[in-house]
Chains A and B, each alone.
Chain A
Amino acid sequence: MVGIISYGAYIPRYRIRVEEIARVWGANGTEISKGLGVYEKSLPDLDEDTATISVEAARAALARRTVDPGEIKAVYVGSESHPYAVKPTAATVGEAIGATPVMTAADYEFACKAGTAAVQTCMGLVKSGMIPYGIAIGADIAQGEPGDALEYTAAAGGAALIIGNRDPIADLNYTCSYTTDTPDFWRREGKPFPRHGGRFTGDPGYFKHVLGSSRMLLSDLGTKPGDYDYAVFHQPNGKFPVRAADILGFSREQIKPGLVVPYLGNTYSGASMVGLCATLDIARPGDRIFMTSYGSGAGGDSFDITVTDVIDSDQFNRDAAPTVADMLKDKKMVDYAVYAKHKGKVVMME
């Protein structure tokens, strides 16, 4: 069956506290942190961007399992912060993992769900027999305008999944999507920062699509939330995924391992996939995982995943790359001045 052959995540070391950002803008940091359910967020080093994060995540996946890079015939990178407007990040990743030149590649954009769209593409290519392995990446160095609400959560990080059908560590049993044209969040070509439709981001955006896609999967498969050991939802803040889980009937225990946003921030295209990696870090054979991503604009992709015995076998070495928890612990706090310097670099690129 088509499934996840290996996985890897990457989180830059730098963090800033939400309270520190609020202090600069004269806002009540404690209140904002509590309201968002986010306490710290990651930011990239001065020489890191979506391409370097993608490469590190892909290399982490390859460190955990021997896969001939020459057999990776598809590389897709989902992001809303590709370093170039025109020139594929996916080609840089392909070259840096030794998969070039016999491969197809493309960059995906669908706000925060471009990475899971890449997973679906790889599933299709593997299932149809067109490729032995594909790699799907979701990564971002998320942009938020100084002083805007997004600045408190916009973070950096990413995850890579190698998709194939030869002894996967987790079977991808099923996937479905729910998509409509919704103006909840956007960034116009050539503009450095995104805009959002204020109240539009909650009910008509996130909840309509996350719940729509999740319910569709449960109905298509005839499963109940209780049939799953873990659930992962897109996490733009600490509140939305918890509320979505509550509404659907998933418990706090089920979502706990994959809820990384409180000390990571929103890594946009990386968000649900890093949450899945954090869940795979602790999963046992037989565990069943429910995942729904969300991308503004708007849509949700849902997945039904079962962890196999291979995750504990000699074919796979989980310890060969750092866990998400390891990377969240290995951090260096910075103040707003250092943060602004890092951000300055990002804006200069536009």
Chain B
Amino acid sequence: MTVPRFWRKQQSRYNLIGTTCSTCGQYFYPPRNFCPECRRDGKINEHKFKGTGKVVTYSIIRSASDQFSLLTPYVIAIIELDEGCRLTSQVICEIDAVYIGMPVKQTFRRLGTDGGSGAIFYGTKFIPA
């Protein structure tokens, strides 16, 4: 990931800032500037998610690229936020502790680093609530 590409999405990654369409009530994360449902009638506003939700489904990662190999085995899950939109994130817990429907909440972690001397990228992951 390049530094500028990450930086543009930084606020959204740090604080789970997405968008909502006030016409139909849908929430979007990552943020969308256009509602696929309402199209031209959609009214998009910024929304800071509460940061709580539940695991919809998950997978255990046992081998990963160099950057993430130290973390293995770890849990990647699709999480449905309480507001009703879905995102993919690591869930930090023992691999045998995760289950479908598990309540989770946001936490602030390192997402990765650009090698030993490059930038450190921070953002949101989830832990059991």
Contacts and interface: CB of A to CB of B under 8 A. Distances in A.
Nearest to B113: A349
Interface residues of A, number: 22
Interface in A298-350: 332, 341, 344-345, 348-349
A349 B15 CA distance: 25
A46 B108 CA distance: 13
B122 A52 contact: yes
B108 A49 contact: no
Contacts of B71: 46-47
A225 to B, nearest CB: 39
B52 interface: no
Interface in B4-20: 10-11, 14-15
Interface centre among B14, B94, B125 (most CB of A within 10 A): B14
Contacts of A264: none
B71 to A, nearest CB: 6
A345 B70 contact: yes
B88 interface: no
Contacts, number: 44
Contacts of A106: none
A147 interface: no
Interface stretch (A92-100, A115-123, A202-210): A92-100
Nearest to B109: A47
A83 B122 CA distance: 11
15 contacts: A45-B92, A47-B92, A47-B111, A51-B120, A51-B122, A55-B122, A56-B107, A92-B122, A95-B14, A96-B14, A96-B15, A344-B70, A345-B70, A348-B116, A349-B113
Given A47-B111, A48-B110, 9 more contacts: A45-B109, A47-B109, A48-B109, A51-B122, A52-B108, A52-B122, A55-B108, A95-B11, A349-B113
